[in-house]
Every structure is written in C-alpha cells, then in structure tokens.
Structure 1
C-alpha cells in the first residue's frame, strides 16, 4: 500500500522504520535453509520485493566505490568460510552444539544478504538531498507518533507488548528505574526506545535549523517535546548523546559535524583493536568509575570481564570466528550453563565471524561517514549541507553506541546506504563533468 501511495524513497523509509517500531520483538519464523525471519529481516525482504515487483526498480548490489565494493563482498561471503572452518561440535556438560556444515554456510550467507538489504535499498533510492530531508522528517515524525504509547507506558508500566502480542520480550525488572518505568512499547528493551528517541531529537533539531515543520509542530517545538520525552526514557547514555549532539545539529558548521562524526567512527574502530591487543586502560577507568559511583564501577567491571572471556575465546579462531548457534559463547564445562553476557555488537561479531567479519561490518558503516567529507564539497546549498551533516552525526553516534550495546538495526544500514548513495551521485557526477 505505501509503495503504491508514496515515492519509492519515502515508501522505503517507512517500510524499514515502521516494522521496527510496531512488530513483536524476539519472535521469529524458522524455515528450512533460510535463517529465522523476524522484525530485522522480514521488512527488508518485503521492501526489496515491493521495489522490484510493484515499482519495477532495479537495486544495484555493488557500488562504484572500490573499498565499499570489497567490504560488501567480504561481509556477505566471510560467513561461508566461517561455517566451513567449524565442522566440529561443541560439548559442555549436557550442552551439545552441532558442527557447522554446508547447509549452515549457505544459511549464514542468506542471513547476511537479508541484513544488508536496507543498505542496498538506501544506496539505490535515497540518493538525493530531498530524500535525505525526508529521512530526517520521517524519523522526527515517527518519534512524535511513538510518544503516545511511550507516555502511556511511562505511566502504566510496559504492558503494550504483552497485551497485543501475548508475551513480554525481556526482563521486566530492567525496565524499572528511579521509582518508575522505562517505556518499551514493541522494541524489546527500554534502551532501544531511548536510543530511537535520541535519534528523533537530532532529526527534529536539524529540521528546526532549516525551518521545516514536523507535522503540526515547528522544528523547535518538536525538539523540545522529544527532549522531554527522552528524559522520561530514563537512559543516561541516550540523554547525554542528545545533549552533546543536539547543539551540534543546531549550530555547528556541517564540515565540523562531519569531522565529529568521523571522530566517533574512529573511536568505534580503535576500541576493539585496543581491547584485542590488551592496550585499553581498563583498570584506570575502573578506578575513576569507583571514585564516582560504586554501582557504575561494578557494572563496568562486569562488562570488561565478560568482554575478556569472549575475546579469549574469539582469539582461538581470530580470522573468521566460531560461527552461529551460540558457538561463540562461554559455557560451564560441567553444567553447560552459559557464562557469557554479550552486550556490545563488536564483541558479538568478533566471536561469530572473527576480526575479518568485524572489519567488513564496521568498516562499511564507517566508510559511508568518512566519504561525507567529499560529499560536502559538492553540496549545492547550505540546507543540503546541514542535512548531510546531521545524518552523519546520527549514524556516527549509532556506530559509537555499538561498542557498549547491540543497537544494530535495519535502519542503521538504510542510513548508511543513503549516505554512500548520495556520495556516489554527487562525486561521480562531478568527476564525469570535469573530464
């Protein structure tokens, strides 16, 4: 319906974002050969098929940029090698995880293809300055709409997922904070809701700067309202992100916005390397955290110890990892109890697909931001530059947040594809004209 009523760009934005906001969390359909289908894969496939059959649009799979092309190939193909390198089972007490076979190799490749589909869709159909402005508008407008169930759950506790889908997708205790509740709605966890709200704040701030309304609200009114909503989400990290980035989106030069986004990207790339080489000053940070808050220090120490355990196992197969089915996790050799807690996306990827898999995934996302510096040179208006810089900030903080959390969602890939698509459109057009 949305592809019949909207342009292909707007329809794709809604087709990827709306299911993430509305479909049930932690529910999947497991079919033969293909990986389990859930809210992170079904919308991608649906949007791709709609573009292909309803709009008759061809989706380019490989960009012209040579580095991006190789990173995509490695991202899709490396799980095949991972599966072939893990034929033996894992046995820990009563736990038996079968070895990986050709069937699993094909399944993992299909899963990577489904995950990266939004990147290709964004690259193909969100290449213009107007498309990027629509991207910010839809994120901000979706934040305003989503505020209604969010405020309901702040007051009544997270109940909507249980009432509508029949189960609660996570620990209810984790959603209780400061004598109240974090809203969860249909995302699965209050931290994900807070991060989405923070993204909406940045988008609304950018729209306020270019004097664009968000629905019936001015950009400034939408920004203020969403910031108040973010406070009720009770997530310190997302609130700090918003307090740091909203002024940048409102006042900083686009060139500086891209520089700061690039700096966040470099931190996201350097941190795993420092942890892998045991060069990160974990003990010093723990001492600082202890002087600030014993509870924060304990949480940080727990996270670091888990990362150390997972890294030790990952480094037993450093290049292509241990594969899927929980083979990357740590199990008690007697009881079989799972001893690991995987929070950060980076440590999950290293355990499953090794350092090569991490290089492909993080490298591809980082490249789209680093290319923004070139894109800015060919922007034809200040309005376009502001929009590009704000989107770079949004993707940059998303990539940085993959260090402590697993906030990788289809929307992340869609935004990355949109940035690379815009880069290729303006850069190669300019280069062809200069010849």
Structure 2
C-alpha cells in the first residue's frame, strides 16, 4: 500500500501528466489490496484514499500549475453539496464540528479528490479517450487472473496479500462455478468493472478507434474479454452490459439517447419511491416468485425487507440524516443490530438524508445528462465523441448498480469529473490533451 506512493511518482516522471493520472488510477484500483491503515488526524489509508493521495501528491510535485485551472461550474454543485453534507449532518444531530469535519475529510478523500482530478485532467476529449482505453486495457489485464481464480477456487488477494474481505463462501459460487473476485471487495464489483471494460471495448472497436491490438484484430480481443466477463457470473452486470450496448447502438444507428435518459430518470424515480416509502416491494417479490427460483426471490425479499425498516428509520431524520456511529441502523429491544445495508442509496439516505442522497447521485448523473444535452447522440458515432459517450453510459450503469449494491469505485467518480469537465469547457478547449 505504501509502495504505491513512489510508484505513482515514477509514473509522473515517466509519462505526460494526463497519461500518468489515468494509468495510475487504473493500476492502483486493479492491483492494490482491500486493506486499511489507521492514521491519526486523517481518513484511513486504504485503497480509495491511496489512489487520491498518491496522485494529488504527484500533481503537487510535478504538475502544480494544473491545480489552479479548476473553475467552478453549475454542474459541480451536486458534488459540492455532497462534500459538505457530512458537516451539516453532524451539527444538525448535535455531534459537534469536530465529528463533522472528520466525516467531511473522508468524503473529500473518497469522492471529492477523484472528481476534482477528473475535472482538471480529463476536461477534454483526448483525456476521456485515454481513460476509456485504460479501462479497456485494464479489463484485458484481468483476463488471465479471472480464469486462474475461477480454476483454483481461491481468492488471489488472499494468496498474494494475505488479505480477506470476509466474503461469505456461499456468494463465491454461482451458475455451477466459482465467481472470481481478484483484488476487489466482492465478485459483484469485479463484474461491474469487466462490464465497463467490455462497454469501452465495444465503443473503441465499432467506431474504429482501435482496429488491431498487439497485432491481432480487435474482434479477437473483444471475444476474449466478453467470454471472461461471462465467467464473472454476475447477473446484474450482464443486464447492465446489454442495456449499455443497446443504448450505444441506438445512438449510433438512430441518433437518439433515449435509453440513457430513461435509465437516469428511472434511477431517480426509484430513489423517490424509496425515500417516500412507496416502493412496491411486495408486488415485485410476488411477480419474481413466478419467474425465478426460490433462492433468488428470497434474496431480493431479504434486501427489500431491510430497506423497508431502514427507510422508516431514515424518514425520522429525512432531510440531513442521522450521521455516523451506526445511528441510522435499526436495533431491537436488546440493543442488537437487526438491519443489513446492501445498497449505497439506503446507506446514504440513513446517514446523510435526502440532501445527501440527491447530491451523491446527482454528482454522478447530472454530468451525464448535461453531456447528452451539449453533445447529442448524432455525434456519438464519431471517434472523438464515442469514448465520452461510452463513459457516460458506464457511469449511468454504475449508478444503477449503486441502487442495489454499495461498492464505491473511484474510476467512475473520476470519469464523472471528466464528463463534467467537457460540459463546462469552452469549444476551443475540447481538443486539448
């Protein structure tokens, strides 16, 4: 973990800053272990903060003038609200400014820094193209490791680093085989990553940005990558990939971004139902029981039941939430925690209330919708605009996954900052980088 710092400093001496940033983010996210060191006075040094701290330090040393290029734009408002929300929540709940400042520090390290770095480095079409290529290459780098782990039935993170994420053994097996995890918190997180890599590959391949790689046709690499994605055994990621490909196909062939709009607006409608307590969970479970096996239905019902009791608790402090220290969780008369949080939305709603929930999802999705408005779908088949369009679709797919799971990935936050950057940029600046 600490060896990452000199490595990222080396990257900034070896490559141009923009390429060093993209390479550093992807390498660190793919290969650092899921571990944390407690450091007094600052948020814990973990995989998330190591990426942000390392690249920010390298920027200060080797590219400090870039730090002053940031200019606040209205598209940045949701992220700004999300970063200060913990401080307001803590004070509203009487936890004091010190607690609020501490929680805000963690929010800045996890969310604010990746977004800010995306805004100052990837605020042009060339930068977003580099990020799309890096994500695709990162997917290819994971190919042999996915196959290896699916054969040895053991986490490589445990073998190499001696670290375990405590994943239930029952969650490691799906569809008659072992679900790989590699160096991520869960196999579901790996599935979303490989889904995104496949989505980037489709865009890079079909728009002719990459025709051959390592002297092999791009179609060969896409076949290998998609086959590897399949063995990740993540049903949700399969669905997200199909929706993403359909959205890009409709944009390329019929010049419409309707799928992306429906997806984003559908996410916000889902959140509205959850916050208001009107989500039709019983009807959905009844419908699913006629279509899926009992185990799958029971898993969904368990999630809905917990979100129902957690939502009821959150609505008692609806605006700014309960704050930290487990105050948003539900306890029985013996003081035992009887709630399970699976999704990011219910965690944020309980801790930071409706303000936090709206701001965190808007920080991801407002840049996406703004991109659709400024750069309409008729442009997305052009090699210049295909990578940011694919990234926008990837962010929307990831946001939908956050409605069901709670797996924060800084690559998507970085991409959101980059998309916001080109929305805010002047036309003459789009071609820089």
1:21-100 to 2 correspondence within 5 Å? 21-25=30-34, 27-59=35-67, 63-66=71-74, 68-87=75-94, 100=95
- Taking a change above 3 Å as real, the CA distance of residues 325 and 213 of structure 1, as seen in their structure-2 partners, is farther
Query: Is the 2:329–2:337 contact (alpha carbons within 8 Å) kept by the matching residues of 1?
Result: yes
Structure 1 pair 380–344 and aligned structure 2 pair: CA distance change class (3 A): closer
Q: Is the 8 A contact 1:369 1:396 kept in 2?
A: yes
SS in 1 for 2:47: coil
C-alpha separation in 2, matches of 1:222 and 1:247: 20
Matched-pair contact (CA < 8 Å) for 2:251–2:381 = no
**Aligned residue for 1:311?**
311
RMSD: 2.3
Shift of 1:256: 4.9
Q: What's 1:8 paired with?
A: 17
- Offset of residue 318 of structure 1: 1.0
Matching residue of 2:7: none
Picking from 111, 118, 138, the partner of 2:106 is 111
Count of residues paired in the alignment: 415
Q: Secondary structure at the match of 1:291?
A: coil
8 A contact 1:286–1:300 mirrored in 2: yes
Gaps of 5+ in 2: 1-9
Asked if 1 retains the 8 angstrom alpha-carbon contact of 2:70 and 2:119, the reply is no
Do structure 1's residue 141 and structure 2's residue 149 form an aligned pair? no
Equivalent position of 2:5 in the other structure: none
1:65-214 → structure 2 map (5 Å cutoff) = 65-66=73-74, 68-87=75-94, 100-115=95-110, 116-169=112-165, 170-211=167-208, 212-213=210-211
Compute the TM-score of the two structures, normalised by the length of structure 1.
0.89
Deviations 1:170-191 (A, max 9, x none): 2233112233211111102111
Cα drift, residue 64 of structure 1:
3.9
Relative to the length of structure 2, the TM-score reads 0.90
Q: What SS does the aligned partner of 1:183 have?
A: coil
Deviates further, 275-284 or 379-388: 379-388
Contact 2:277–2:311 (8 Å) recurs in 1: no
> Cα–Cα, structure 1 residues 120 and 264, in superposed 2: closer, same or farther, change >3 Å?
same
Contact 1:345 1:407 in 2 (8 A): yes
Partner of 1:394: 394
Q: Displacement of 1:427 after TM fit?
A: 5.4
Structure 1: gaps of 5 or more residues: 88-99, 431-435
Tell me how far apart the structure 2 counterparts of residues 119 and 254 of structure 1 sit (CA, whole Å): 32
Aligned mates of 2:96, 2:125 — CA distance in 1: 45
Highest relative contact order (Cα 8 Å, sep 6+), 1 or 2?
2
Q: CA deviation at 1:250?
A: 5.2
Contact 1:395 1:415 in 2 (8 A): yes
Is the alpha carbon distance of 1:132 and 1:76 closer, same or farther for their aligned partners in structure 2, counting shifts above 3 Å?
Answer: same
1:371 equivalent in structure 2: 370
